[in-house]
Amino acid sequence: MTTLFTPAQVAQASLLLGRWRLQDGELYTPLLGGVIKTIIQGAQALTLTVANRHAELMPSHYWAIRVNHGTWQRFNAAQKITLPIPVPDCLVEIMTAGNTDFDDVWTGRQGFALTSLKLTGAGWLVRPVSRPVVTILGDSITAGCWVNGYHAAVDYCPENNFVGLAQDQVDFDLVRVAYSAAGLLRPATGGVPVAIDWLNHFNAQTPWPTQGNTLTVINLGVNDRRFEEDAFATAYEDYVTAVIKRSQGPTVLMIPFAQTFSAIIRDCARHHGLPVIETAGWCTSFTDGLHPDLAGSRTAARRFATALTRLLNERSG
């Protein structure tokens, strides 16, 4: 016996972390590190069907799935995605886990698309209880690129970058809106424009509505390192002002791991009366001198989780 769930049914019975949208009969996101979180009851196995619309001649997309906070299992989207369900009642997290800079996620449809979810057995889906949400606005480091090596898609690992690992150390949900190479002055890859232009948009055609969240973290700046300081200071001020206007909760500024434009970021924080997450010494192990590898991600994750927990405790206290 099997039970087939449409994208709309999956969306209704899940927490969607990131920017997801029902369109053209699919549950779709342009973002690496997006999460579908649901509770599966009464099933023996899960089968995920996805549309693998990667750029021509580029690697396939990857998805990752785990059950009850266990080990993430990665799946090439060109192959069958099936996972046994070990117990009758369990939390399942499905993550968009690998793409490339050539996938047109802004003007095209080369993001991640779920087309159906099938349960083997008399199973059903239950929406988990909502938790506080921290949204991180960032670039490839936040998204989870190049964690395991130099190969696009297969070596991207949002489940085990500093955000993914920090998720297991906090009691709130981390949401990332992050694009490879994103900057305040430098456009991102995949046809994505500069950060202030994607702040309020899902893609080139679709605005993104304001959503409630507990805290917003801005983790941008390193990709603008080749621009003049004055130009960055102006663009960063404009972006922070736009985020404050959009956010329904407090905003926090994060210094890039490379300490790029750190003085400007601190000055902007003082001007707006915002907290700063200082990151000096957080990460000493990198894949390429810029992107943390797995070891660097582990150390950064512990410090990131501690910083966020402190900020939320201060807010609630």
| 33, 80: one domain | yes
Of 62, 94, 126, the residue at which a domain comes to its end is 126
Instruction: Provide the domain limits for residue 63.
Output: 2-126
Answer whether residue 188 shows pLDDT above 90: yes
Span 37-54, mean pLDDT?
97
Q: What is the spatial distance between Cα 5 and Cα 35, in angstroms, rounded to a whole number?
A: 17
Residues 108 and 140 in one domain: no
Q: Look up residue 123 and give its two tokens.
A: 């199973």
Same domain, 139 and 113: no
List the CATH number of the domain containing 117.
2.60.120.260
Q: Which helix (H) or strand (E) segment is 50 a member of? A: strand 45-51
Q: What is the CATH number of the domain that holds 204?
A: 3.40.50.1110
Both 138 and 182 in a single domain?
A: yes
pTM score of the predicted model: 0.97
Residue 260 pLDDT class (50, 70, 90 cuts): very high
- Does the pLDDT at position 210 exceed 90? no
Q: Mark whether 309 and 164 lie in a shared domain.
A: yes
Both 34 and 112 in a single domain?
A: yes
Across 150-156, average pLDDT? 97
Torsion angle defined by CA atoms of residues 254, 256, 261 and 262, in that order, rounded to the nearest 10 degrees: 50
Is residue 17 domain-shared with residue 120, that is, in the same domain? yes
Strand partners, 17: 35
Are 220 and 264 spatial neighbours (Cβ–Cβ below 8 Å)? no
Helix and strand numbers (H, E) in the chain are: 7, 17
Using CA atoms, how far apart are residues 155 and 170, in angstroms rounded to an integer? 25
Q: What is the pLDDT of residues 62-72, one digit of tens each?
A: 999 999 999 99
| pLDDT greater than 90 at residue 219 | yes
Q: What is the pLDDT of residue 317?
A: 62
Residue 26: predicted pLDDT: 98
Buried b (16+ CB within 10 A) or exposed e, 214-230: bbbbbbbbbbbeeeeee
> Do both 304 and 229 map to the same domain?
yes
pLDDT of residue 132: 94
User: CA of 199: how far to CAs of 16, 19, 37, 91, in Å?
Assistant: 18, 11, 24, 30
Percent of the chain with pLDDT over 70: 100
pLDDT at 220 over 90: yes
The residue from 111, 126, 141 where one domain ends is 126
Q: For residue 68, report the phi and psi dihedrals to the nearest 5 degrees.
A: 50, 45
| Contact criterion met (CB below 8 Å) for 196 and 242 | yes
**Do both 18 and 144 map to the same domain?**
no
Structural domain count, the chain: 2
Q: How confident is the model at residue 237 (pLDDT cuts 50, 70, 90)?
A: very high
Sheet containing 251-254, strands listed edge to edge, beginning at the edge strand earlier in sequence: 173-178, 133-138, 215-219, 251-254, 276-277
pLDDT tens per residue across span 73-124: 999 999 999 999 999 899 999 999 999 999 999 999 999 999 999 999 879 9
The answer to whether residues 208 and 251 belong to one domain is: yes
pLDDT of residue 116: 98
Do 159 and 304 have their domain in common? yes
- Averaged confidence pLDDT in the chain: 96
Q: Which of 126, 154, 183 is the last residue of a domain?
A: 126
**Is the CB of residue 223 less than 8 Å from the CB of residue 290?**
no
Which pLDDT band, with edges at 50, 70 and 90, does 211 fall under? confident
- Start-to-end CA distance of the chain, whole Å, equals 51
Is 210 in the same domain as 145? Answer: yes
